Amino acid sequence: MSLDFGLQLYSVRAALQDDADGTLEKIAEIGYKHLQPAVHRGLAQVAGPLTAREFKRRVDELGMDVQSIHAMVDDQTDWDRMAALNQELGSSAVVLPIAFFVDRPGTVEFAGALNRYGERCRKAGLRFYYHNHFHEFQVLDGQTVMDLLIQNTDPDLVGIELDTYWVARGGANPREWLMKLGDRCDLTHQKDLPAAVQPANVFDVFGQDARFTIQELLQTQQPELFAEVGEGTMDLKALFATMREVGVKYVFVEQDMTARGEIESVRISYQNMVDLLHQ
């Protein structure tokens, strides 16, 4: 099955803030066609200081498109406004980028909220996804958070955008999880893991029973803990073969942190993605 790739714009967040127009032009020159913005500040800004209208005009001029967006949503979200934003951008999906979990009952309750958000999106003609980090692979009363989420959400309402790097950092096997999720996962995120990162399993650092909050996540956000796609130790050829097998449509390069400049980083990942996907 065909597998295409794009760029999660969180990867170039500082560059967009400094020069949004110029950064989008550089992204287009590199060769990226498909974008996934990270929308913040009450849906008012889509990329750096750009509004949705300004962003869409520039993206169209550069021959790119928006496939989906990342946005923090909750029960207070203005879903009519969310639907209008996606329509203006030409986006077909909303991805909730992160959540934190304390115990099994709270995780099951959160899964119910995901179902509600998925239903709101479906009514608006949008798909809805949850995006993982490492802490979804913490075990709560004999099951991982991720297992609890997929068992307590409706597959017709809630998809999973699997971030393969974070699966590996959670001590799990990304290919096994791709197979387990099947057609619930047609969007993925890709970065790479440097060989020097030891231990790779974050739970070996914090302990399996730690309570994970934004503070623990921030401790994993160091440039030396990330590599550009194809520059690390992940078996990307096998991963991409499995993505094709299960029907993933888009894999988005997402570079949380980099020791390089942001534009250089996404350029390296683009070149390696082209080579890997054509092997």
pLDDT in tens, the chain (279 residues): 689 999 999 999 999 999 999 999 999 999 999 999 998 766 667 788 888 999 999 999 999 999 999 999 999 999 999 999 999 999 999 999 999 999 999 999 999 999 999 999 999 999 999 999 999 999 999 999 999 999 999 999 999 999 999 999 999 999 999 999 999 999 999 999 999 999 999 999 999 999 999 999 999 999 999 999 999 999 999 999 999 999 999 999 999 999 999 999 999 999 999 999 987
Query: Is the sign of the CA dihedral 35, 49, 225, 199 positive or negative?
Result: negative
Query: Is the sign of the CA dihedral 183, 189, 193, 197 positive or negative?
Result: negative
Structure tokens at 143: 């099951």
How far apart (Å, rounded) are the C-alpha atoms in residues 68 and 72?
A: 13
* pTM attached to this predicted model: 0.97
Q: Which residue has the tokens 């730690």?
A: 210
Neighbours of 238 (CB within 10 A): 11
Q: Which residue has the tokens 């390296």?
A: 268
Domains in the chain: ranges and CATH: 69-258 (3.20.20.150)
How far apart (Å, rounded) are the C-alpha atoms in residues 48 and 118?
A: 27
Q: What is the pLDDT of residue 2?
A: 83
Q: What is the pLDDT of residue 44?
A: 63
- To the nearest 10 degrees (0 to 180), the angle between helices 20-30 and 262-277 is 20
